[in-house]
Structure 1
């Protein structure tokens, strides 16, 4: 395959955010004297924050409007992104490797733009990404193909010349539904099988780099 663009998910893929997001989720529910669970949190991994908030509001019969709850959750979310959240080890080296080969890069995330920009700017990664697609830019979130279709359109690259890197099942389905070869990355051990159709399953940037070097020709 020819590689002209690589499209990254953010949470759990570029950002080592899942442990932090779990604490944000627990802190949000604690405001209502509720205790979260790993099972419920796992269900929220993939859909947009707004969809997750709507689910929590309905399940726990929260009195506030979805919009009010969303604003409060995003505030907790943003503070965490600007503070303790870091990229996975080796992320910038991998981005630099791709940039040296003139591969176009995009972030495709279910997070709102303000939250995403807080992390990318704080970590000094802005210059690597030609495009960023957030929950604010789309109508349908993952697993719908729209987020990745939007990124392809912005980069002006056909699906067959791109690669998606995702950590969640929802995200993998989104990439595959957009017709893009998709790799699942699991920086930490994960339960369950990868969805059918993935190009490869890797556990580090170094492993993904080997997959790329063995399978692709740079444009």
Structure 2
């Protein structure tokens, strides 16, 4: 860790075990319109911004609601889970404490929304660890682009080369690498099928944060 001045974390699938919740929300939401979840849905949407995902649903499934209404419904469905049920991955707090001890800045870079990320960070008592929080909505680009990572570094006043990024999906690893940052991929059940590609693309692949303690 001494090689880095800042660490930038993804949220869903990286710091928290939440992907199962979103799979359930997708299923419930689409079933309300008489649709079943396509097998490749997660691969299609996982790196998109929230607005891009809502627009994808609108076009793909011919949903009449406006993008803003779709997002509002998802928030309604997800807020209780993020406020009460979603837990941290193993050793997250220990690793955050290690970074603080070494005076390494900490940022969050996520495709999720401010209300949901704040709900789960506060419920899990880690909100205060973050020196900066950036969402894809701020840059209007998905995570396969470098923009969210570059903005995170700018907020921290740290050069991209001095940043370490943690991500759990291929598209986001590619985006962070485009930003000129070191990228560690972390295992998540939802992206298990990408393990081989993640291992090739990332600077390191880990099963959990305990490996770095």
Q: After the TM superposition, which of the residue ranges 172-181 and 64-73 deviates more from structure 2?
A: 64-73
TM-score by length of 1: 0.89
**Which residue of structure 2 aligns with residue 23 of structure 1?**
24
Distance 1:88 1:126 in 2: 15
> 1:166-212 CA deviation, whole Å, 9 max, x = no partner?
001121011111110111111437113325542111111022x16xx
**Which residue of structure 1 aligns with residue 193 of structure 2?**
191
- The alignment partner of 1:15 has SS state of coil
Report how many aligned residue pairs link the two structures: 209
Distance 1:86 1:197 in 2: 28
Distance 2:184 2:137 in 1: 25
Give the one of 199, 203, 207 matched to 1:203.
Answer: 207
> 1:95-137 CA deviation, whole Å, 9 max, x = no partner?
1111111110001000111111111111110111111101342
1:103 to 2:107 alignment:
no
- Please show how residues 35-114 of structure 1 align to structure 2 within 5 Å: 35-114=36-115
Runs ≥4 residues deviating over 6 A: none
TM-score by length of 2: 0.92
Residues 26 and 35 in structure 1, CA contact (< 8 A), matched pair in contact too: yes
**Which residue of structure 2 aligns with residue 157 of structure 1?**
158
Is there any run of 5+ residues in structure 2 with no aligned partner, and where?
none
**Which residue of structure 2 aligns with residue 213 of structure 1?**
none
- The alignment partner of 2:70 has SS state of helix
1:178 to 2:179 alignment:
yes
- The alignment partner of 1:140 has SS state of coil
**Which residue of structure 2 aligns with residue 7 of structure 1?**
8
> Which structure: greater helix fraction?
2
**Which residue of structure 2 aligns with residue 148 of structure 1?**
149
Distance 1:26 1:178 in 2: 34
Is there any run of 5+ residues in structure 1 with no aligned partner, and where?
211-219
Distance 2:14 2:39 in 1: 19
**Which residue of structure 2 aligns with residue 214 of structure 1?**
none
Distance 2:179 2:125 in 1: 29
Residues 47 and 170 in structure 1, CA contact (< 8 A), matched pair in contact too: no
Cα distance, 1:5 vs structure 2: 0.4
